[in-house]
Structure 1
């Protein structure tokens, strides 16, 4: 657990402080592969080679698929190649090996013993679902698992192969939401939702460290592209009742392979200044005022997980949240366009006094009441007391 982030003792102290503040920590766990350098020394002082990590893994613990002249994956729609060759030159661990499984399970157990509440299984589609299940069975104490599955269709691997051992990160949600916003086609987004994994198994997000580095920006949204549109998309994700939402706070960068800012020691620089303000180039997006309000809306609407009275017209989207007793305690309306829009309160929304959490204002609203929405804006309404 020694890393660029600090020592194991510092890591455990961080986890303890977070838990004391009511914040769970989950770790990004890489079990599909090891690093791609020919040789080096880790932050903990451990020497390593490309397929040789003394005391941990040797050459027999890695796949050597023998394809493409360099063992790299080239055909991502060939299942065997996907799960046996090297991803971008990163040596592929033989996760079917019992001894490899034991060591990886021990790593997960050690994280749990340090107080880590959950793990994100990096590059999960490159590890057979049965191998992941075996590793998790041999580990102890980990309370939550999510699988990173960077897939936009299920031609090679299926979400269901991984749902039996954890939640799944639904990348198509990100692509489809960005496309709907950019192209003003929310009908496609809502239709595609029907083919996603069950909500209780899904992790959704607008952006993450992979998506923000996609060279094709047509179907992704990042804070570096258009901050206002990205913020509004995040508010929509938090308001719409699907999946377990993930808010991404990263750092601004100018080149594809640029890592985080480093201290002279080579360790990652702090994200906060001495006064707890955000230190550039970190974004601290989780602190954004509108995101915090949207989180409050999601929590207030937690008992009303059914979306009703869904309507959309180009850049406008509206929906209500319905409780199990059929009442509507909250509703939302979004305008993703670049110019002011005029619309009306949708049919089906109960008349009465509604408080918009984003503006803090209270309105008397009934079906048909005119509404003016500035460019790229939203209302998150809850019943006024």
Structure 2
């Protein structure tokens, strides 16, 4: 299960606009201002208790782990990752057994309601991770109510939905075969679509105002192969999910442009990014990879940190330094220190576009013990409220409407994000102190960083000052 899960897991602007919006053509005046805290594996009570701290930290949205009923084997325990059985219990909420609210990991429907009330109190939008693409590995664990609702087991899956995908770059296999070993649901079945949309509308009624679509690139668009063997006529799931069309009398409960929706469309060969862009924002996974490489090298020399490395316009991308996949699944980013993640977050969040997502690492985690206290459902560590994180979150809000001017030193070690004449964020990627001497749009004068009180001088259109190793500084013109 550990090795099979690698292909299973995988954000866009303040509010995703109507489906007719062109998400490929760049709008130079578009400026994003929101930030997402990914409360990975936090249960509902922990999220509810932490909502004030999340708001005080400057986050405007919180993303939950999947909330639907899920696989829960006997003896699965309360650990995030169980070494004895070499599999992670956190995988289970990515294995739906029914589209009803509540599971053994996050909590009950009533506990979710309490969390939603807390989010509303502090004006935090809630994004729910949804995964219509597949069911649990164990198809016998899927509820009979679910099977009955979709017309029985024969109609639950694509004709080759139980066959494991061999080639992720083959769009037929990618959209119609099992992903990461998980059975591929016939998402074009109108009975399934109706049942799923009833779940979505239930969440909307509870106050949810956003969705992250897990494994979105494994659900076909119109140019993809159609599973005629399953009596499918067209790949219309996304038309239904985004409110373009009703299914059996059920339609998205509120206007789509009032929701924040993005899909996990991990970048690879043959992925129709432009076609997906017609429906929702997408994950900038390639950009995250380049940013992590710069953090590892302690320099961006030879790397392009200005481009978002995506076919979609940057204002419709969700960005991250790391995701739950890169940390907990493939462990690709888990070796990076909290300091490295933090300075990467400052650079990412200070920028004009993308909607950045901050992944909450487990409490007590270290670079030799990725799961830390290893308690499933517990709150993550306190990095989400580190002063530098808080400062750049609030900087981002304050810079609404201000265009960016990104400057990078010749060594690639110093990054500067100017936001009009109102502010600037500086990052030193190096493990040594560095002197900044880069062009800025700030007016001449002396400025103090809002976190450490460090002084910087601007003269003749350049900002100068000493940067401590692996540290970031935020300036806001008063």
Q: How far apart are 1:30 and its partner, in Å?
A: 1.0
Give the alignment's TM-score, normalised by structure 1.
Answer: 0.81
Task: Report if the CA contact (8 A) 2:429-2:470 is conserved.
Answer: yes
Q: How far apart are 1:195 and its partner, in Å?
A: 4.2
For residue 242 of structure 2, what is the aligned residue in structure 1? 136
Q: Does 1:212 align with 2:331?
A: no
Structure 1 residue runs without a partner (length 5+): 263-267, 272-281, 323-327
For residue 296 of structure 1, the aligned residue among 381, 394, 405 is 394
Task: Report if the CA contact (8 A) 2:425-2:474 is conserved.
Answer: yes
Change (3 A) 1:157 1:258: farther
User: Where does 1:159-178 land on structure 2 (aligned, <5 Å)?
Assistant: 159-178=273-292
Q: Deviations over 1:294-343 (max 9, x none)?
A: 11111121221332555553211223112xxxxx2112221111111233
Q: Deviations over 1:159-215 (max 9, x none)?
A: 222222221111111101111232323552236436452122111111121111354
Distance 1:258 1:128 in 2: 38
Indicate the structure whose relative CO is greater, using CA pairs within 8 Å and at least 6 residues apart. Answer: 2
User: Where does 1:95-244 land on structure 2 (aligned, <5 Å)?
Assistant: 95-129=187-221, 130-137=236-243, 138-141=251-254, 143-153=258-268, 155-183=269-297, 184-186=299-301, 188-190=303-305, 192-193=307-308, 195-215=310-330, 217=332, 221-222=333-334, 225-244=336-355
Structure 2 residue runs without a partner (length 5+): 1-100, 222-235, 244-250
Change (3 A) 1:29 1:214: closer
Q: How far apart are 1:15 and its partner, in Å?
A: 0.7
Quick check: 225-234 or 189-198, which moved more? Answer: 189-198
Task: Report if the CA contact (8 A) 1:61-1:97 is conserved.
Answer: yes
Instruction: Report the 3-state secondary structure (helix = DSSP H, G, I; strand = E; otherwise coil) of the residue aligned with 2:391.
Output: helix
* Superposition CA RMSD, Å: 2.9
Give the alignment's TM-score, normalised by structure 2.
Answer: 0.66
For residue 178 of structure 2, the aligned residue among 86, 91, 94 is 86
Distance 2:373 2:175 in 1: 27
Distance 2:151 2:292 in 1: 41
User: Where does 1:1-385 land on structure 2 (aligned, <5 Å)?
Assistant: 1-4=101-104, 5-40=106-141, 46=143, 53-55=147-149, 58-66=152-160, 71-129=163-221, 130-137=236-243, 138-141=251-254, 143-153=258-268, 155-183=269-297, 184-186=299-301, 188-190=303-305, 192-193=307-308, 195-215=310-330, 217=332, 221-222=333-334, 225-251=336-362, 261-262=375-376, 268=377, 270-271=378-379, 282-307=380-405, 309=407, 311-322=409-420, 328-346=421-439, 349-367=442-460, 370-383=464-477, 385=478
Kindly tell me the number of residue pairs found equivalent between the two proteins.
349
